[in-house]
Structure 1
């Protein structure tokens, strides 16, 4: 199955992968993304980091120049580029602002890891053994629950196995096809 590319009229849909820290969101995405790209999808990712991180390292020219006071650094090569922008004031990222940085015309799907309270369609990754309550009872944006404890999930939502990334990828492809279907005009 090959999805239709995003267009100016229809930017890439956004789908969140939400859950508590340690639930396995990144591990799941690392297994699902190759399956989505193998199906011909161009996937972008926005990841919320709750900790300080740096993609630039001491000793590198770009790091030295940023430490010297450059507020924005663009590192570019023939294969990729990365833009490092220092925030004027440290604050939690706002999903809408971060999504504006992603080229949604160039991608077929934007996956969002984290931002668990954002009002976007999402899959919840939940592990009973972590001891955190599930999000799905209080979040109408959750489309399905991905878990290693299906017997402990009490919902009418689809329940997907955490150790079966192919079924999660298939669910995402079906969802993407549904949201990409042209809508018939409403008669008044």
Structure 2
């Protein structure tokens, strides 16, 4: 079973940059890593007017675009309920770890990325699933405080917290 770990925080705190760095750290350690990014905004994977976008515009419920390099499936919700994190995780291929950016209210172990400069409150006092805080400033907390600028140390923390084994048989 894939282990799941969340990266949460307010916009502008550095979640995406940290998640990208963590993916690189874990991949360099030989782990297979998946990532889920939650967005509150609409997004396009292919420019309007291109083939798969035209198929979706015509009414296709799902479009798969494939090449020798990658494939993507785009499902139009068309008013249906957004799938839960558990439903999204079930769609992914097996991996050693799935990093989840967003889905901050889901009951998974999470790291809060917090910067005083955002002017936003800290999340950890109200979320028992936050197991550590990564920041570039001192934070008063009984949780482990990690240096936001040291992705390797944060990867070590996640590895230990989830008991990940980079040498496990795949």
TM-score by length of 1: 0.82
Distance 1:147 1:13 in 2: 24
Cα deviation for residue 132 of structure 1 reads: 1.1
Q: Deviations over 1:83-106 (max 9, x none)?
A: 010003165542122122112xx2
Task: Report the equivalent of 1:146.
Answer: 134
Q: Residue 93 and residue 132 in structure 1: after superposition, are their counterparts in 2 closer, same or farther (change >3 A)? A: farther
**2:90 matches 1:100:** yes
Native 8 Å contact 2:96 2:164 kept in 1: no
Distance 2:42 2:56 in 1: 16
Higher mean alpha-carbon deviation, 15-24 vs 87-96, is at 87-96
1:75 to 65, 82, 91: 65
Cα deviation for residue 59 of structure 1 reads: 3.1
**2:108 matches 1:117:** no
**2:28 matches 1:38:** yes
Task: Report the equivalent of 1:163.
Answer: 149
Q: Residue 130 and residue 91 in structure 1: after superposition, are their counterparts in 2 closer, same or farther (change >3 A)? A: farther
1:60 to 32, 50, 72: 50
Distance 2:130 2:56 in 1: 40
Cα root mean square deviation, aligned: 1.8
Runs of 4+ in 1 over 3 A off after TM superposition: 90-93
Cα deviation for residue 178 of structure 1 reads: 6.3
Cα deviation for residue 176 of structure 1 reads: 2.7
Which segments of 5 or more consecutive residues in structure 2 lack a partner in the other structure?
166-170
Aligned residues between the structures: 166
Cα deviation for residue 13 of structure 1 reads: 0.9
Cα deviation for residue 118 of structure 1 reads: 0.9
Distance 1:163 1:57 in 2: 34
Structure with max Cα Rg:
1
Distance 2:117 2:78 in 1: 39
**2:82 matches 1:86:** no
Task: Report the equivalent of 1:12.
Answer: 2
TM-score by length of 2: 0.91
Cα deviation for residue 56 of structure 1 reads: 1.8
Q: Deviations over 1:7-37 (max 9, x none)?
A: xxxx111100011111110011111211110
Q: Deviations over 1:132-181 (max 9, x none)?
A: 111111111111100111x2x111111001111111111112223269xx
Which segments of 5 or more consecutive residues in structure 1 lack a partner in the other structure?
1-10, 180-188
